[in-house]
């Protein structure tokens, strides 16, 4: 869900050839060898300034100063060896090394300050992400839940794609949503939607009432031009499941065992925030029954609208049976992510949230042979 960043001061750990002093030392050793092999006529002494310049890219000011000292020592040693002591080119080379060192120290200090600020910003973003969308428990009611969030931007931590699940009497209610737009405004709208869902899910008599509460909160607490696509799901302990679609990508159902009937088509409604403008009636919930071992994939349009080089959308329903076959849900989501990247060839160009729901009947707890070895040969798009 997020990319890692090196903390200032941590560079230099690991294998010796990856440490920040290796490149500057190697460059100066090559310059020294070149002078020894080719002779002083080429005037390679100013090239020792490459040492502190390279040190500024990854090293600390101490690394820069160490490279400078080595560069000055090599200039003086080679000058004595070549009989150039006191020659103008030696003073020019020394001046070049020292001026480069001053600039490199400034670059190193500035870079490390920016790295620290970036680490602080990412720490805050991680905290916001954990508040907005905390990790789901591995088991909630009759469902094993595995989520995955990926941003189109490597440095991003939060966005408008979201999922959440709340255990309610007799089952679980799930929200998967995508807020229009990006940036802080999208994050703010996502917080409103999540807050309304968490508050209303345990008490709303049905999904339409829950959707109405989310719609009202969004209208009261966000600008009028913000809309949110969403899919609400209610899963009972006995497998009875209800889905309510507000302009969101349809889920994919993988049945355990043999062939299964096609899932009834969802009755889509406008996204939250647009219902009042369109005057459309409330959508009709779609009902189905999950059986032990069934797997339901909920996603945002960052997955379904991923395109290959010719502009063809990723065929989720056609490929779901193969990529989601692994029993381990984390492995299944990892294979799905890899397959999408292979399809696009360039990685994601939009945020995407995935939530994999494995239904476990009350008489077949997670971890039992019946729950872990059941095949999933059928994939049906909702």
What's the token pair of residue 55? Answer: 């040190």
Report the distance separating Cα 92 and Cα 88, nearest Å: 6
What's the token pair of residue 70? Answer: 């080595």
Report the distance separating Cα 199 and Cα 348, nearest Å: 33
Confidence of residue 143 (pLDDT cuts 50, 70, 90): very high
Q: Is 347 left (phi over 0), alpha (psi -120 to 50) or beta?
A: left
Mean pLDDT for the stretch of residues 373-379: 42
What's the token pair of residue 345? Answer: 């060839």
Q: In the β-sheet with 161-168, what is the strand arrangement from edge to edge?
A: 161-168, 171-179, 228-236, 240-246, 286-289
CATH of domain 133-381: 3.60.40.10
Distance (Å) of CA 246 to CA 64, 162, 193, 261, 280: 58, 14, 13, 24, 11
> Which pTM value belongs to this model?
0.66
Give the least confident one: 202-216, 284-298, 315-329. 315-329
Confidence of residue 368 (pLDDT cuts 50, 70, 90): very low
Residue 38, classed as helix, strand or coil, is helix
List the beta bridge partners of residue 149.
353
Indicate whether 154 pLDDT > 60: no
What's the token pair of residue 62? Answer: 């101490």
Confidence of residue 11 (pLDDT cuts 50, 70, 90): very low
Indicate whether 367 pLDDT > 50: no
205-239 per-position pLDDT tens digit: 999 999 999 998 888 887 767 788 999 999 999 99
Length of the chain: 382
- The pLDDT of residue 316: 84
Q: At what angle do helices 88-132 and 61-81 cross, to 10 degrees?
A: 160
Confidence of residue 261 (pLDDT cuts 50, 70, 90): very low
Indicate whether 3 pLDDT > 80: no
Q: At what angle do helices 183-200 and 88-132 cross, to 10 degrees?
A: 30
Confidence of residue 201 (pLDDT cuts 50, 70, 90): very high
- The pLDDT of residue 243: 94
Residues contacting 354, CB < 8 A, separation 6+: 147, 148, 149, 163, 297, 298, 299, 300, 303, 333, 336
Distance (Å) of CA 370 to CA 81, 138, 162, 171, 348: 80, 18, 31, 21, 36
Domain(s) labelled CATH 3.60.40.10 in the chain stretch across 133-381
């Amino acid at each position: 869900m997020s990319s890692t960043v090196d903390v200032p001061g941590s560079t230099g750990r690991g294998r010796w050839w990856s440490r920040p002093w290796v490149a500057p030392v190697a460059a100066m050793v090559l310059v020294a060898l070149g002078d020894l092999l080719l002779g002083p006529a080429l005037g390679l002494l100013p090239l020792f300034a490459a040492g502190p310049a390279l040190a500024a890219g990854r090293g600390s000011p101490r690394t820069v100063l160490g490279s400078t000292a080595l560069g000055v020592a090599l200039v003086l040693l080679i000058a004595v060896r070549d009989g150039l002591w006191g020659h103008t080119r030696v003073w020019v080379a020394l001046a070049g090394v020292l001026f480069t060192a001053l600039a490199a120290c400034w670059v190193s200090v500035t870079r490390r300050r920016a790295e620290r600020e970036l680490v602080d910003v990412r720490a805050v973003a991680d905290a916001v992400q954990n508040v907005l969308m905390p990790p789901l428990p591995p088991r909630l009611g009759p469902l094993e839940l595995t989520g995955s969030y990926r941003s189109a931007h490597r440095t991003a931590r939060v966005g408008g794609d979201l999922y959440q699940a709340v255990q309610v009497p007799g089952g679980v209610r799930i929200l998967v949503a995508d807020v229009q737009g990006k940036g802080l405004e999208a994050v703010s709208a996502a917080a409103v939607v999540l807050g309304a869902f968490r508050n209303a899910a345990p008490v709303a008599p049905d999904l339409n009432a829950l959707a109405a509460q989310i719609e009202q909160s969004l209208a009261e607490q966000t600008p009028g031009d913000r809309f949110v696509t969403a899919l609400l799901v209610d899963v009972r302990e006995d497998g009875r499941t209800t889905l309510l679609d507000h302009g969101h990508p349809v889920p994919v159902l993988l049945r355990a065992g043999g062939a299964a009937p096609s899932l009834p088509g969802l009755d889509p409604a406008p996204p939250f925030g647009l219902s009042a403008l369109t005057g459309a009636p409330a959508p009709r919930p779609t009902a189905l029954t999950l059986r032990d071992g069934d797997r339901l994939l909920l996603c945002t349009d960052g997955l379904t609208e991923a395109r290959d080089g010719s502009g063809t959308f990723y065929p989720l329903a056609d490929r779901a049976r193969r990529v989601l076959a692994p029993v381990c849900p984390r492995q299944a989501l990892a294979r799905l992510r890899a397959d999408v990247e292979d399809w696009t060839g360039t990685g994601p160009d939009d945020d995407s949230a995935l939530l994999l729901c494995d239904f476990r009947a009350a008489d077949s707890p997670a971890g039992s042979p019946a729950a872990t070895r059941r095949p999933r040969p059928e994939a049906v798009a909702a």
